[in-house]
Amino acid sequence: MNINEKIISTKVELLETIKQGINILDFIKDERDIDFVTNAIIIEGIDEDIYYEETAEIVFKSILYYVLFTDDETKTLNRCKEIAKYGINGTDGINKIRDMVSKEERANVLFKPVEIASDTTQKAVFEKLNERLSKI
């Protein structure tokens, strides 16, 4: 990922760039960048059960697609975090996110696994997502 003429290629570099206050969403050019950002922020690889971590990454990717490709949407990681927090509010919050991401085709498709999951699974995924996003 190219940020201000510097190639960022590791998770550590990306997280440091975020800590510097740089809005990395301004530098996303393609799907590889989206994959890199979501993986670097969400995947830590230390969980016994990787399902929730991987599903949290997919949900984050859905939110990111929505934010990036929806007109009149604030294109920042803080906005992504704000949307992700809706999911903590159970069915009402998840329905709110579903209604938002349904406006962008890729975001809508990516959201389906959590949309059809049980309430318990949805809760665990959004807890994992918000835990990881709280670190940035």
- Determine which of 46-50, 71-75, 81-85, 122-126 has the lowest per-residue pLDDT on average: 46-50
In this prediction, residues 15-30 reach a mean pLDDT of 96
Q: Are 59 and 127 in contact (CB under 8 A)?
A: no
Nearest alpha carbon to residue 80 among 92, 91, 68: 68
* CA dist., res. 119 & res. 14, Å (int): 33
- Neighbouring CB atoms inside 10 A of 29's CB total 9
pLDDT of residue 49: 87
Task: Compute the mean pLDDT over every residue in the chain, rounded to the nearest whole number.
Answer: 95
Give the mean model confidence (pLDDT) for residues 86-112.
95
**Model pTM?**
0.95
Query: What are the extents of the domains in the chain?
Result: 2-133
pLDDT of 62 reads 98
Round to whole Å and give the CA distance between 133 and 85: 10
Distance CA 61, CA 32 (A): 12
Position 5 scores a pLDDT of 92
